[in-house]
């Protein structure tokens, strides 16, 4: 196996939340590098999620933990593991085109040491991100695509004493809060650093202009959670931003080629599922390659869609400026319900669908109580959310039929 990297290694990939969710750690363990990851980053066992002023702490089931490593730390671990398994890694070797034999891809054209070179391959895999060169050259079809309604800024900050010792920070390890049309997040990363960011509608980001760092700091200061963590301190390194993004599925297989990670599926980063999904799909694609048939590759495609669709729509929901709506606020008020709290924890570990967290009868009961108290504003968002959930479940069932037809 030959791995090609366009940049000089080691390099960083800052356009990432860096979180490896609990299910992602299962794949890291399967690669044999789980202990290294755990040794470099603190365990993240509790995420505080807040909406409309209502916080809810999600405890991962069975004492499991997520981990957050900067890509400059995680990627070399994965690269070393691949080399140890027999792969060859060449950096500073950008792919400039593909080699074809009729409709089939049989290799790549690269630029190495200022010289053009052709490299043949039985299968060309694009693991080259959301702006994938391979996807572009094969014309991979996009579906369920949309432009992100929000963008954001983030930076690393030194871990303050309060985060470790004082409540409420000592009660949780990650934070994701929604307020109005904005969101804020805090992840405890490796290197004794916090990754702290804000998400805002695109039209507001456009108004930041060259004062984006000042606006970012003001948004952090305005929050009772992020304000105390950053007051009187300076970020470590640059403030980074994403002001434009498109999220979509791409057809991930074709004659002689395949896509994995963001190259084949780029979703809203608000829930922090990107690395976990990339690890999952890389494992599934490896299994298909070992099997060695076109049918196996098609199965990889359809299984990816089944396993991703609900998560993709959940990420779209959470990334919407309208996520902080009256009905979602009502749900947050009732997350202390033991049945619902358990389902939230199972969904966080991918043992339950995010669209099955609230049983329909409970939702109707909460709605009825809200109406008795004159909270009629919950009705439109309840109706819209119910329709949305129904549409998602129907599409998911259809994707499952496509998979079953191959299996």
Tell me: pLDDT of 209 over 90.
no
Work out the percent of the chain whose per-residue pLDDT is above 70.
100
Cα-to-chain-centroid distance, residue 400: 22
Write down the pLDDT at residue 9: 83
Pull the structure tokens for residue 22: 């609990």
Note the pTM of the prediction, 2 decimals.
0.95
Q: Which residues contact 243 (CB under 8 A, 6 or more apart)?
A: 151, 202, 205, 206
Element (H, E) at 50: strand 46-51
- Helix and strand tally (H, E) in the chain? 14, 20
User: Distances from the Cα of 54 to the Cαs of 200, 294, 322, 339, in angstroms?
Assistant: 20, 49, 16, 18
Pull the structure tokens for residue 94: 């950008």
- Looking only at the bridges linking them, the beta strands covering 142-147 and 246-250 are antiparallel
Place of tokens 């389902």: 343
Cα separation, 319 vs 379, in Å, equals: 21
The 10s digit of each residue's pLDDT in 26-73 is: 999 999 999 999 999 999 999 999 998 899 999 999 999 999 999 999
Q: For residue 245, give the nearest of 266, 273, 260 by alpha carbon.
A: 266
- Looking only at the bridges linking them, the beta strands covering 253-254 and 257-259 are antiparallel
The 10s digit of each residue's pLDDT in 252-282 is: 999 999 999 999 999 999 999 999 999 999 9
**DSSP 3-state helix, strand, coil percentages of the chain (rounded to 5)?**
45, 25, 30
3-state secondary structure 219-236: HHHCCCCHHHHHCCCCCE
Q: For residue 362, give the nearest of 391, 387, 333 by alpha carbon.
A: 333
Q: Which residues contact 366 (CB under 8 A, 6 or more apart)?
A: 330, 331, 333, 334
Write down the pLDDT at residue 2: 93
Q: Which residues contact 128 (CB under 8 A, 6 or more apart)?
A: 6, 95, 134, 135, 263
Write down all domains in the chain, each with its CATH number in brackets.
2-41+68-146+246-313 (3.50.50.60), 150-242 (3.30.9.100), 326-406 (no CATH)
């Amino acid at each position: 196996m030959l791995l090609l990297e366009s940049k000089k290694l080691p390099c960083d990939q800052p356009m990432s939340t860096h979180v490896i969710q609990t299910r992602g750690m299962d794949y890291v363990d399967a690669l044999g590098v789980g202990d290294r990851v755990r040794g470099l980053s603190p365990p993240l066992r509790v995420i505080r999620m807040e909406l409309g002023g209502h916080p809810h702490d999600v405890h991962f089931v069975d004492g499991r933990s997520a981990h957050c490593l900067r890509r400059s730390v995680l990627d070399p671990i994965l690269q070393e593991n691949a080399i140890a398994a027999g792969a060859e890694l060449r950096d500073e070797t950008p792919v400039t085109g593909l080699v074809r034999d009729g409709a089939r891809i049989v290799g790549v054209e690269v630029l190495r040491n200022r010289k053009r070179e052709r490299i043949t391959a039985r299968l060309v895999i694009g693991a080259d991100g959301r702006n994938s060169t391979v996807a572009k050259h094969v014309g991979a079809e996009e579906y369920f695509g949309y432009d992100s309604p929000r963008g954001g800024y983030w930076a690393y900050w030194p871990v303050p004493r309060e985060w470790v010792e004082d409540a409420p920070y000592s009660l949780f390890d990650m934070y994701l809060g929604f307020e109005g049309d904005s969101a804020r997040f805090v992840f405890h990363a490796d290197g004794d650093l916090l990754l702290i960011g804000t998400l805002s509608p695109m039209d507001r980001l456009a108004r930041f202009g060259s004062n984006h760092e000042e606006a970012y700091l003001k948004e952090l200061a305005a929050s009772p959670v992020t304000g105390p963590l950053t007051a009187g301190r300076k970020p470590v390194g640059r403030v980074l931003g994403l002001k434009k993004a498109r999220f979509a599925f791409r057809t991930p297989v074709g004659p002689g080629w395949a896509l994995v990670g963001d190259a084949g599926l780029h979703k809203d980063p608000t829930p922090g599922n990107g690395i976990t999904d990339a690890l999952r799909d890389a494992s599934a694609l490896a299994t298909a390659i070992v099997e060695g048939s076109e049918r196996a590759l098609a199965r990889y495609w359809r299984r990816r869609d089944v396993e991703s669709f609900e998560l993709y729509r959940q990420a779209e929901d959470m990334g919407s400026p309208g996520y902080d709506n009256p009905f979602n606020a009502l749900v947050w008020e009732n997350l202390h319900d033991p049945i619902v709290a358990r389902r939230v924890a199972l969904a966080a570990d991918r043992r339950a669908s995010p669209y099955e967290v609230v049983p329909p009868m409970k939702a109707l009961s909460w709605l009825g109580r809200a109406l008795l108290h004159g909270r009629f504003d919950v009705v439109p968002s309840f109706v819209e959310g119910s329709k949305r959930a129904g549409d998602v479940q129907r599409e998911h069932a259809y994707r499952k039929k496509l998979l079953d037809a191959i299996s």
